[in-house]
């Protein structure tokens, strides 16, 4: 995968949780990632280290965040029974081009591919249909996190499996407050500015918004200036990156999760928020729409219409109750890491068995 600890985000959290959940099932995981963070591209990290008892190997790269080539020695990939790539990017392409051993299985999980924003959409589609499609031929199977991803990956491979993300609960408690919570990176496609704008609408005149997450391509100072301009500074709490303990303290004060994100690979933060009883109000991107179509509470709202978004948030605040919070928690429990790990391991086993059978057919035993 392209980024890992100390980078923090949905993809990094996913891989860390998957590695932890695979261990009880007999899998020993190691991470290969880049030797720098895109947020600090000139600062190289040590080539080998351990994070939460998982070996992490870091490799150099050529290029930039959106277009990079990892420099991976061929010998580094050889020892593994399964190579599981996370994300459709330069790492996916590099490993897909590498000659594959007869006994090794290669799998890739999409995490939304690279259609996170409409930026250069036509060029992305051309690239996806050519370079990405060619790289996909180097994989035995692809895994989709969501139905939109499943539909997308079927354009690359006939061997696609849908395994919804595992999500770790934010805590074992049920929140009891009425504040609003945004949880995630401060990235441009998340459109946190639209949430701040919605807070300035009359329907939310008494509400407090907590914004939790690390800076990406949007800064805390930018959001602070917007809040000041709209006159809501005292009702916008800009926390930045926080510890798990501090996040629990903040989340206990909240009742509604809000996200104006225009694109999500899955929508992990929404499920995390529901795990402690928050009612979600989210922009109608494909992933959020898929989740909330099945959820017992919460709603979609167009955050590009701040008045309509504010009205939807107000409605969820007015409907809050212990029973509805409990419904949110029960729904989130369906997305357990234990189930995700079991489905993933079974996929590994099926592919390894198929590869072994194929190898035996090519090289039959002599009488």
DSSP annotation string for 115-170? -SSSTTHHHHHHHIIIIIHHHHTT-SEEEESSHHHHHHHTTT-S-EEE-PPP---S
- Report which of 25, 33, 88 is spatially closest to residue 55, judged by C-alpha positions: 33
Q: What is the pLDDT of residue 68?
A: 92
Q: What is the pLDDT of residue 122?
A: 86
Distance CA 228, CA 178 (A): 22
Looking at domain 179-332, does it have CATH number 3.40.50.2000?
yes
SS3 182: strand
Distance CA 72, CA 91 (A): 9
- From first to last of the 367 residues of the chain, give the pLDDT tens digit: 999 988 877 788 889 999 999 999 999 999 999 999 988 888 999 999 999 999 999 999 999 888 899 999 989 999 999 999 999 999 999 999 998 888 899 999 988 877 656 667 788 889 899 999 999 999 999 999 888 889 999 999 999 999 988 988 999 999 999 999 999 999 999 999 999 999 999 999 999 999 999 998 999 999 999 999 999 999 999 999 999 999 999 999 999 999 999 988 788 899 999 999 999 999 999 889 999 999 999 999 999 999 999 999 999 999 999 999 999 999 999 898 998 999 999 999 999 999 888 765 554 443 3
Q: What is the pTM of this model?
A: 0.76
Q: Are 121 and 98 in contact (CB under 8 A)?
A: no
Token output for 221 = 């100072």
Token output for 152 = 């997308």
- Report which of 153, 139, 147 is spatially closest to residue 110, judged by C-alpha positions: 153
Distance CA 263, CA 286 (A): 7
**CATH T-level assignment (fold) for domain 10-166+337-362:** Rossmann fold (3.40.50)
Our measurement of the distance from residue 140's CA atom to the centroid of its chain's CA atoms, rounded to an integer in Å, reads: 23
Hey, which residues does 257 pair with through a beta bridge? 181, 280
SS3 200: coil
Cβ-proximal residues to 227 (8 Å cutoff; 6+ apart), any chain: 196, 233, 235, 236, 238
Residue 12's Cβ-count burial label (10 Å; 0-12, 13-18, 19+) is buried
Distance CA 159, CA 202 (A): 51
% helix, strand, coil for the chain, step of 5: 40, 20, 40
Distance CA 341, CA 18 (A): 6
Q: What is the pLDDT of residue 294?
A: 95
Cβ-proximal residues to 229 (8 Å cutoff; 6+ apart), any chain: none
Q: What is the pLDDT of residue 123?
A: 87
- State the span(s) of the chain assigned CATH 3.40.50.2000: 10-166+337-362, 179-332
Hey, which residues does 39 pair with through a beta bridge? none
Spatial strand order of the sheet with 48-51 comes to 30-34, 54-59, 48-51
DSSP string, 280-342: EEE---HHHHHHHHH-SS-EE--TTSHHHHHHHHHHHHHH--HHHHHHHHHHHTTS-HHHHHH
3-state secondary structure 11-72: HHHHHHHHHHHHHHHCCCCEEEEECCECCECCCCCCCEEEECCEEEEEECEEEECCEEEECC
Distance CA 151, CA 124 (A): 16
């Amino acid at each position: 995968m392209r980024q890992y600890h100390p980078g923090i985000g949905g993809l990094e959290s996913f891989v860390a949780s998957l590695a932890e959940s695979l261990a009880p099932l007999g899998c020993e995981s190691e991470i290969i990632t880049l030797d720098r963070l895109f947020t600090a591209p000139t600062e190289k990290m040590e080539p080998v280290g351990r994070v939460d008892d998982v070996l992490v190997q870091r490799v150099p790269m050529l290029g930039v965040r959106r277009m990079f080539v990892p420099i991976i020695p061929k010998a580094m990939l050889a020892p593994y029974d399964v190579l599981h790539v996370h994300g459709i990017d330069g790492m996916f392409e590099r490993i897909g081009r590498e000659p594959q051993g007869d006994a090794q299985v290669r799998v890739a999980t999409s995490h939304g591919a690279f259609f996170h924003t409409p930026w250069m959409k036509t060029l992305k589609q051309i690239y996806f249909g050519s370079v990405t499609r060619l790289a996909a031929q180097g994989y035995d199977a692809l895994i989709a996190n969501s139905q939109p991803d499943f539909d997308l990956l079927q354009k690359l491979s006939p061997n696609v499996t849908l395994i919804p993300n595992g999500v770790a609960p934010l805590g074992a408690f049920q929140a009891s407050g009425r504040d609003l919570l945004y949880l995630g990176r401060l990235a441009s496609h998340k459109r946190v500015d639209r949430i701040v704008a919605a807070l300035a609408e009359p329907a939310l005149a008494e509400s407090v918004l907590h914004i939790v997450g690390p800076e990406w391509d949007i800064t805390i100072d930018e959001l602070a200036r917007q809040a000041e301009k709209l006159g809501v500074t005292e009702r916008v709490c800009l926390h930045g990156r926080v510890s798990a303990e501090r996040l629990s303290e903040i989340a206990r004060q909240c009742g509604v999760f809000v996200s104006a994100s225009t694109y999500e690979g899955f929508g992990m933060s929404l499920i995390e928020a529901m795990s402690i009883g928050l009612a979600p109000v989210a922009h109608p991107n494909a992933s959020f729409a898929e989740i909330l179509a099945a959820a017992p509470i919460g709603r979609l709202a167009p955050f590009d219409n701040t008045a309509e978004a504010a009205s939807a948030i107000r409605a969820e605040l007015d409907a809050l109750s212990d029973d509805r919070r409990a419904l949110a928690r029960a729904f989130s429990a369906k997305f357990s890491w234990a189930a995700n790990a079991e489905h993933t391991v079974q996929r590994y086993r099926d592919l390894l068995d198929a590869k072994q059978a194929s190898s035996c057919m090519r090289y039959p035993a002599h009488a």
